[in-house]
A and B are shown apart, each in its own frame.
Chain A
């Protein structure tokens, strides 16, 4: 600033030039470009969900809905609407699949990760390597043998493969457990084991050590693993698409796909349903960003 002050006249351009170098200017332009490209689709999703059918089907796109209209949401939730979708049922199905998946994954992987992080045992490396295989195998490869295998056992033991949320939870566990195990093992290795050793010497059993010491020390990691696995199950498309046939059992992604492919296109309804599905994920993510990012960087996610 001292340099520009020595000039006799200072135009606005001189001021700007002194304030913002070319480098900074480019920096902000690029940053804004990134932000617009990232956020516009999200704006478009939420704003379209508040449009009317007329606004959606007009000759030109409506950039800002005239009013926050709930037409689309009423089609999803209001039983008196002529094309009522009963979306509440789909939210319930998604929760019925995601919550047990996340809960079971956290419990089982806590035990497994403790064993891997604290004990030496034969076959540990072989086991860890086979866990990592899930990263290599395409979901579409595994679904063929899984489907065939489960159908075989279904006829054998008399249960349904399709339209069975329990089967879906089990297949989701195969996708999420390796991730959870990997993340928690890494975390447990960072907890110094002196306290655990002391408790063991005092005569605590390993199970007691896990519940009284390891778990309380790992609450943030456990929460983020829960949310991670929850998100994987909540977002999952392919397995649900193949294993669910009946509309009453559709999870949200499958129902949204069905509404999208309806012969009479109603994008505002699709956008409303997408908004409902996306919002909890974004909120969960933002509230736990720090923990979740660590998991992302450590390669915990396959996506």
Chain B
């Protein structure tokens, strides 16, 4: 304030306010610029340089490496599509994030429709439905691993044996194919509450008059759902799908904790982690992360241009 007092006569109220605004936001801006924006740009730099553990003492002096990091990533044996047994991280990532996002949104839609009807205990049920989403990832991932324990004493093995579905105990999370499927189901289990909340908020904003008018016209429930509910939900479904897909594609914790990225569940974030913090080849890791970002951006542009545009 002293500053503006001294300059008092020379500056306008608007300038003074602008100054104050910057002072208020400066700490946040510095942290965000310094720890998000700068690193994001710096990552591009790293991806073109040879940065290993030894280079960390003086990162900015690391030697230029051209496209070597990118070539190394693309030629990595776990990157390329070999066959359906060995799909490579790119294909696995795409299948994993698309499938789990679709399942998440569908489950979320189902749950939202359930909870949109009035019934006794709706408030409590709604709160319970959010548990998988709010609970810490470490806890829920390990509970599921413990439920899917490969021994005969694992709950899933016990229940499925009793029901006569399986004869032998299964090693669910260490069987190729099955592991990927279960990781996808886990994602839907954990994140459907997010979709549910988004959809529910929109559902409750649909005017009753629309349904009443349809009723007068003699529409049945399915017709009402098809011609009122779905069109009203289109935007929120599209937005939820995009957000979830983006976050699922970028997610590291879930798969790392469930399978460690083994048995056909290795996705791009896991590969990035392995390059940078297992083999300490930060340049290669940064290049993998850049490829991941490019894939996400490309998808987003296409999606926003073709899918979301139509709905306006």
Interface residues of A (CB under 8 A from B): 27, 30-31, 34-35, 37-42, 44-45, 48, 57-61, 108-109, 111-112, 114-116, 118-122, 124, 127, 130-131, 133-149, 151-152, 155, 170-171, 173-174, 177-178, 181, 205-206, 231, 234-235, 237-238, 242, 252-253, 256-257, 260, 267, 270-271, 274-275, 277-278, 281-282, 285-286, 289, 293, 296-297, 299, 301-303
Interface residues of chain A: helix, strand, loop or mixed (majority)? helix
The answer on a CB contact under 8 Å between A278 and B136 is yes
Q: Are B252 and A238 interface neighbours, CB within 8 A?
A: yes
- Of the candidates B119, B138, B153, B293, the one whose C-beta lies within 8 Å of that of A138 is B293
A142 B18 Cβ-Cβ under 8 A: no
Check: B289 CB closer than 8 A to any chain A CB: yes
Q: Are B131 and A39 in contact (CB under 8 A)?
A: yes
B147 near A130 (CB under 8 angstroms)?
A: no
- Smallest CB-CB A-B distances: 10 pairs: A174-B35, A138-B250, A274-B139, A145-B39, A112-B28, A119-B21, A141-B289, A115-B24, A115-B21, A145-B42
* B257 in contact with A237 (CB, 8 Å): yes
A77 to chain B, nearest CB (A): 18
A119-B17, A237-B257 known; A297-B131 Cβ under 8 A: no
The CA-CA distance from A111 to B27 in the complex, in Å, is 9
Contacts of B201 on A, CB cut-off 8 Å? Answer: 297
Which of B27, B37, B247, B252 interacts with A112 by CB under 8 Å? B27
Which residue of the partner chain, among A114, A271, A285, contacts B143 with CB atoms under 8 Å? A271
Please determine whether A138 and B289 come into contact, CB atoms closer than 8 angstroms. yes
Do A303 and B56 touch (CB < 8 A)?
no
The interface residues of chain B lying within 8 Å CB-to-CB of A206 are 20, 24
Residues of A contacting B134 in the complex (Cβ-Cβ under 8 angstroms): 231, 281-282, 285
Give the residue of B34, B57, B117 whose beta carbon is less than 8 angstroms from that of A152: B57
Given A41-B147, A148-B59, A231-B134, A61-B154 contact (CB < 8 Å): yes
Minimum Cβ distance to chain B for residue A41 (Å):
5
Chain A: CB-nearest residue to B123:
A289
Contact: B142 with A256, CB < 8 Å? yes
A130–B36 touching, CB < 8 Å: yes
User: Does B46 lie at the interface of the complex (its beta carbon under 8 Å from any beta carbon of A)?
Assistant: yes
Q: Are A61 and B153 in contact (CB under 8 A)?
A: yes
Given the known A-B contacts A235-B138, A285-B130, are A138 and B125 also in contact in the complex, defined by CB atoms under 8 Å? Answer: no
**Chain A residues whose C-beta falls within 8 Å of the C-beta of B144 in the assembled complex:** 41
Q: Apart from A148-B59, A293-B130, list 11 A-B contacts with CB within 8 A.
A: A42-B131, A111-B28, A138-B296, A141-B293, A149-B42, A155-B58, A238-B253, A260-B142, A260-B145, A274-B138, A274-B139
Chain A residues in 8 Å Cβ range of B20: 115, 119, 206
Q: Say whether A267 contacts B146, CB under 8 Å.
A: yes
Q: How far is the CB of A258 from chain B (nearest CB, A)?
A: 11
A45, A57, A231 — which one has the most chain B CB atoms within 10 A of its CB? A45
B16 to chain A, nearest CB (A): 10
Residue of B nearest to A173 (CB): B31
* Bound Cα distance from A181 to B33, whole angstroms: 14
CA A130 to CA B282, docked complex, whole Å: 24
A232 to chain B, nearest CB (A): 10
Contacts of B100 in A (CB 8 A): none
Contact A141 B155 (CB under 8 A): no
A41-B143, A205-B1, A267-B146 given; A178·B32 CB < 8 A: yes
- Are A278 and B139 also in contact (CB < 8 A) when A140-B252, A149-B59 are? yes
User: What residues of chain B lie closer than 8 Å to A112, measured between beta carbons?
Assistant: 24-25, 27-29
A152 touches B272 (CB 8 A): no
Please, which residues of chain A bring their CB within 8 A of the CB of B1? 205
User: In the complex, what residues of A have CB within 8 A of residue B147's CB?
Assistant: 40-41, 44
Q: How far is the CB of B35 from chain A (nearest CB, A)?
A: 3
- Give, as a whole number of angstroms, the nearest-CB distance from A175 to chain B: 9
> What are 8 A-B contacts defined by CB distance under 8 Å?
A44-B155, A130-B32, A141-B293, A144-B46, A145-B46, A237-B256, A238-B252, A296-B197
CB distance A59 to B28 under 8 Å?
no
Contact B36 A289 (CB under 8 A): no
* A144–B246 alpha-carbon span in the complex (Å): 20
User: Which residues from chain B contact A146 at a C-beta distance below 8 Å?
Assistant: 35, 39
A149 contacts which of B39, B111, B140, B277 (Cβ < 8 Å)? B39
Query: CA of A257 to CA of B158 in the docked complex: distance in angstroms?
Result: 25
Residues of B within 8 Å of A271, CB to CB, are 142-143, 146
> Do B42 and A148 touch across chains, with their CB atoms under 8 A apart?
yes
- Distance in Å: Cβ of A61 to nearest Cβ of chain B: 5
A235 to B126, CA, bound (A): 22
- Expressed in whole angstroms, the minimum distance between the Cβ of B225 and any Cβ of chain A is 13
Q: B40, A274: Cβ atoms under 8 Å?
A: no
> Would A145 and B57 count as touching, CB distance under 8 A?
no
Which of B33, B111, B117, B143 is in CB contact (< 8 Å) with A130? B33
The answer to whether B43 and A144 touch across the interface, beta carbons within 8 angstroms, is yes
Residues of B close to A297: CB separation below 8 A: 197-198, 201
With A and B bound together, what is the CA distance between A31 and B250 in angstroms? 31
Report the minimal beta-carbon distance from A48 to chain B, rounded to whole angstroms.
7
For the complex, is B81 an interface residue (Cβ under 8 Å from A)? Answer: no
Closest Cβ of chain B to A35, distance in Å, is 7
Bound CA span A252–B272, Å = 24
Task: Verify if B209 is at the interface (C-beta below 8 Å from A).
Answer: no
User: Which residues from chain B contact A302 at a C-beta distance below 8 Å?
Assistant: 247
